Structure 1
């Protein structure tokens, strides 16, 4: 596909001025010239997609330039596109659920009397605005876990506290795993370090990161849960003995 700059801008949502700026900063190759008209190709389209993606995640233009140069050094820009797909694809497919407000309130009766609970759940993105004044549940499994906790007597406010705390803790775990991957996979490729993996090998390793992280965390969590439950049962037994 060949496009003039205005066509490229319309397809990507990036202004012609920014396209020229990216070209001047080395983020985009020069267009193919025919006479005085420059024509852009699918590679420009793909690069702009990656540039926008990385900018949205806080990368500076210089960092993006170095990343693009490193990942396309082998002449196969598909490496970087594959990386974007890996980062964007969910680890496990879970179909969102659409519910009405009354249906949600049936599951969480406490929210009928305290609207701030729903507001907080939306802030935590447990529920989101859906079509036709309905609500979207991004993770029905997570929502059902909240339902079960409230059924055994845990107040909904405490359930939300628990979710927020767990999300913060697991965010730290995720950062640790990704930090290891960046240190030993991504950065060596970006810097051209001797002995660095090829882009294909680095992407293959990154693709395995999430299942490996999950398998590593699961037994630790189970072990800690067993210990915590045993401690709670022991405290309960002690309390009952003291009542006799």
Structure 2
């Protein structure tokens, strides 16, 4: 009797099925496996199979890549994971790492970057875009952030560049403080208490969905909060406070 390609009862997958489940090519999946980014496969004779833990590792790798981590840095991150980490732990890690942007960072040459900007970019233009945190350098290439077009549009506004720089510094400073405080609250009051409890494997997926909803609602709350604060400042200026 021939051996089935997959054992559905155990949820095992071939490398082709694993790659498809994670949205990768088989070649890339094999390469990541060769780097040790996923655990060794389950062996059935000469056949290699993969399960949900392998898929969870690959999804974690993709989340790290979305944040601009190099493969070398990802290797170090994966190696530092606790040996006893389970599906739930990996789901929580992925939930905390999932990019807040719908579009990932892009690595472009200067020519491709100028095409994206729709204009030539002099060295001082590039420096300004970097200072506005919409662009990073990566050797001879550039990492275009999802809000790159916002930075380019700002450069077309007839205001001193020093003013753009000061406004960008203020936004980044206050946003980093806000994100740090919110992240500390999330860890201390949501993630850590959850980790200390007893849960079924499916609970990890539900927690990941909860964190995703919190991410969306937090973005909406930040925008609404800024609008309210701005309106309050306008009202105070009108009454002379």
Q: 1:160 aligns to what?
A: 165
Aligned partner of 1:209 among 207, 214, 218: 214
Aligned partner of 1:56 among 74, 77, 89: 74
Specify whether residues 51 and 211 from structure 1 end up closer, same or farther in structure 2 by C-alpha distance, changes over 3 A only: closer
Count the aligned residue pairs.
200
Specify whether residues 178 and 12 from structure 1 end up closer, same or farther in structure 2 by C-alpha distance, changes over 3 A only: farther
Aligned partner of 1:2 among 7, 14, 34: 14
Residue by residue, what CA displacement relative to the aligned partner does 1:202-238 show, whole Å, maximum 9, x if unpaired? 2232121123213332343223323434555677xxx
Q: 1:41 aligns to what?
A: 50
Structure 2 residues not aligned, in runs of 5+: 1-12, 16-25, 65-72, 105-111
Specify whether residues 15 and 63 from structure 1 end up closer, same or farther in structure 2 by C-alpha distance, changes over 3 A only: closer
Report matched runs for 1:176-215 at 5 Å.
176-192=181-197, 198-215=203-220
Structure 1 residues not aligned, in runs of 5+: 106-110, 236-244
TM-score (norm 1): 0.55
Q: 2:119 aligns to what?
A: 104
Report matched runs for 1:64-79 at 5 Å.
64-66=82-84, 68-69=85-86, 71=88
**Contact between 1:99 and 1:135, CA under 8 Å: does it hold in 2?**
no
**Contact between 2:129 and 2:152, CA under 8 Å: does it hold in 1?**
no
Specify whether residues 134 and 46 from structure 1 end up closer, same or farther in structure 2 by C-alpha distance, changes over 3 A only: closer
**Contact between 2:14 and 2:48, CA under 8 Å: does it hold in 1?**
yes
TM-score (norm 2): 0.56
Q: 1:120 aligns to what?
A: 128
Q: Distance in 1 between matches of 2:75 and 2:114?
A: 31
Are 2:237 and 1:220 aligned?
no
Specify whether residues 169 and 122 from structure 1 end up closer, same or farther in structure 2 by C-alpha distance, changes over 3 A only: same
Report the CA distance between 1:159 and its aligned residue: 0.5
Structure with the largest fraction of helix: 1
Specify whether residues 215 and 141 from structure 1 end up closer, same or farther in structure 2 by C-alpha distance, changes over 3 A only: same
Alpha-carbon RMSD across the aligned residues, in angstroms, is 4.9
Residue by residue, what CA displacement relative to the aligned partner does 1:45-66 show, whole Å, maximum 9, x if unpaired? 4244245456639846454545
**Contact between 1:2 and 1:39, CA under 8 Å: does it hold in 2?**
yes
Q: Which has the larger radius of gyration?
A: 1
Report the CA distance between 1:155 and its aligned residue: 0.8
